[in-house]
Amino acid sequence: MAKTKIGIVGCGGRMGRMLVAEIAATKSCAVAGGCARPGSAHVNHDIGELAGIGRTGIPVGDSAEKLIRASEVVIDFTLPDVTAANAELAARLGKPIVIGTTGLSAEQSEAVRDAARDIPIVWAPNMSLGVNLLLGLVEEVARRLGADWDAEILEMHHRAKVDAPSGTALALGSAVAAGRGVAFEQVQQRARDGITGPRPAGHIGFAALRGGDAVGDHHVIFAGTGERLEIIHRATSRAIYAKGAVSAARWVVGRPPGLYGLREVLGL
């Protein structure tokens, strides 16, 4: 059986290197190539040596367009502006893309949705099986408990993460809102500082912690009168995200245009 040729945008980053290694270790997949930003020290280095898996004979490029053309599907865990541009480029070239980037603005998110009219896109704020099971569980709990139980979401990530709250935390908040049948944008409370007054009924609160090398912790707290329900997911290795992204890349090839999540990939 022919192997799925997968390209990695941003292959020199921490996640990009793990993706290269995961693709190379997956029998049904092959590394089509990788690219880094023009001028990066990673350009022209062997992609396998960069990922710590040994020489592959595939040099790192600096053109996303060349990479997308050479791949059946590409995976992008980069920066919001880069991801939005690559989604548009993939749509123009007719190639599917898997996106794990978080922190996109409303305009950048709309660019991804526009691209999904022409190509299949898997866009997930978190590529782990556990988190995607958690999303469904949180929605069901919120539906059953209702808005009388206060919902708070606490997340912690490593010191280098640039966006807050995390994309996963926001997805969990959206799941709470969906379970309650309300618009997330109208009930989210991103931060508190100073004399804030009593907690508004029905709001979904967020707290973001940053420090050390924490891969990703997410706590969903439903606080009622006299009792509290807490649901927790802790990631201890980024390998779970690489595995999920590669599974998504294999799944999305040949799908009709549209915007998919990892729940569709996993059949949840």
Residues with a known catalytic role:
157, 161
CA distance 204 to 133: 20
Backbone angle region of 151, left / alpha / beta, with phi > 0 → left and psi within -120 to 50 → alpha: beta
User: Do 172 and 218 contact (CB within 8 A), yes or no?
Assistant: yes
Nearest CA among 2, 12, 6, 57 for reference residue 38:
12
Query: Residue 58: CB partners within 8 Å, gap ≥ 6?
Result: 31, 33, 34, 46, 47, 48
Measured CA angle at 243 (ends 241, 246), to 5 deg: 105
What are the structure tokens assigned to 99, written together? 């996106």
